[in-house]
Structure 1
Amino acid sequence: MKLLSPIQFSRFSLKNRMVMAPMTRSRAGIDGIVGDNVAEYYAQRAGAGLILSEAINISPDAIGSPFTPGLYNDGHIQAWQKVTQAVHDKGGVMVAQLWHTGRVGHSVDRHGHLPAAPSAVAIKSMQHFTSQGVKDFETPRALSLSEIKQTHADYIQAAKNAIAAGFDGVELHMANGYLPQQFFADSSNLRDDEYGGSIANKARFTLEVMQGLIDAVGGDKVGIKISPLHPYADIAFDDPVASYDYLINELNKLDFAFVELMKRSPMFPLLPHYPQDDEIELFGSKIKHTLIAGTGYGRETGEAELEKGIADLVAYGTAFIANPDLPERFELNAPLNQADRNTFFGGGNQSYIDYPRL
């Protein structure tokens, strides 16, 4: 199987082309520090060619959900060192996904402070899980130019912290409606300064952060995740093809390791004016970097995606939650454990580190 064949790109030498997708599991302490169970969870799944960590908050201002991990103080770094060491001891490779939630948060989990975003536009189509239960989203406050510059600095420091914590690289989370995509989307960015208005201005935040990460830790350790047609958290583009064609063209000019291209989740309907095309064919064919395809793949569909020749690797989410030995199961075409969705976002060790291996 091509999925199980090794691949070399940038500084990464991977034993297979199966990527463990980044998945929020909400198992950190309220202080953002991960425990020994998190180290066990990732070490169990070190058979993946590449592990992309759950999204990690780059600063206190980045926090949107309770019990999510951080990477902005010494305690966080020391805790993640145990995780990366456990993964490396099992022969795995692990990249930290850098996260700022922007407006996808609530003041009850931010010491009473409103979330900040490009513009004061609230999410209306859904509610948010908080430590006090499900609540309506609040209207965020708009970031000032000085706060944008500070956020850039927070990303850079978090990337340096990730390397200090033993991660093999970092990935900018520019998908799923979080801060970089909020700057890019027409529905969430109403600014009239250099970060708003034109497609180029709306892309500026992401491109500046990417360049900062490349300069800080080296492009061979940097990736980015994008989700062009996924409308989660009220993200919408007037012309998604024009917007992402511009972004991809600009990213192609930068020297970094990989792009993770997330397809729209089938749980979210395609917006009426969006193209019906397959995202990997529509956007992936334009990407010059090593490409990771993600969302909804199985054994056969993942193999078929690689055979098309556009994607280089395939990311698996839910399947890796329930099957720590997923590559071995694919090799043997063995049955898969079914995931307990009730424990996806929070809980203890049950349905976290106790899924059986073959």
Structure 2
Amino acid sequence: MLKLIIIQLLLAIVYASSDLKDKWGSLWQFQGIATFAHLDQFQCLVEPNKDFDIGIIGVPFDTAVSYRPGARFGPRAIRDASQRQYSLRGYNQRAHFNPYQSWATINDCGDIPVTPMDNHLAFKQMDLAFEELLLSRNSAIDSKLPPRFIALGGDHSVLLPHIRALHKIYGRLNILHFDAHLDTWSPEKYPSYWRSDQNDLSHGSMLWQANEEGLTTKNNVHVGVRTRLTDIGDYEDDDSQNWLRIEADDIWLKGPQYVVDKILETIPKNTPTYISVDIDVLDPGNAPGTGTHEAGGFLPRELIHLLRSVDDLTIVGADVVEVAPAYDISEITALNAAQVVFELLTSMVKKGKLSRDLISKEVKVF
């Protein structure tokens, strides 16, 4: 008799819980605490025993900028602008795929706590955070693989700690870099008497630093370039660092397919590739909220088309950076950034889980 009463009580609790979930568990898109696309959230740096396949990680750092600050608020703005995305209506009509209802466990990992007071310490924090996230976490689908991350910047220098950690797993990486700027400038080109090792690392020199550290391959592509130059030597320096440049004007003078073909001719599809999207690749009319805006950029539909057209690349990591909401208008920049994250996420999941063969034989962690 006592056993029957206990069972009835347990059933009553279950039914009550289910009833409460039905009554109060469904929110409209503009309600609730903002995680990216309403994803489940936990602090991945604090809870290392929870496995997932793809993480959205905020990197709120902007003290390596050369012009307008404010990208430290980018991760929050992108999350707010992503609220129209959620699993129930997450079907990507361009890719014919819903990344939120597939094999992958996707999580919003919160933010890396980065100090705004000391850049030397900030890069130490970011380096260590990405090492922990990538070298001591397991993918839910395969414990012999690390998870993958899409980083929400932050200024563009946050790319460097991310690819430093990825390099320890995969070796040299191809970089597909959507940006108005080269970001391969040698610090010696900056016209300043005052120099220090830390001051030399900025959101315009991090790809130069990556080349110096041997993190990148010879198969790297800039897309959307229209930057101001010191002189033609800037292009010569860029050439020496193994970059193919696709100008912003190429997309309408030579056509989108020309751009796609040049990317796919340069980057082998079965090799580890990192995609970095500086939102200033878009024209200021479509991305006013950014640190260093340049006239004559892409339309959002052009950027989305290019991302969808190269979705067979093997993406081991990605970022969307330089969203500075203080300069934004009606969330337009953050909205476009959130869409870019959706496209990158779609490509990662649609491609399927990574092959273990990609991992460097020297890595003993997984």
TM-score, length basis structure 1: 0.33
If asked which structure has higher relative contact order (CA below 8 Å, sep 6+), I would say: 2
**Higher Rg of the two aligned structures:** 2
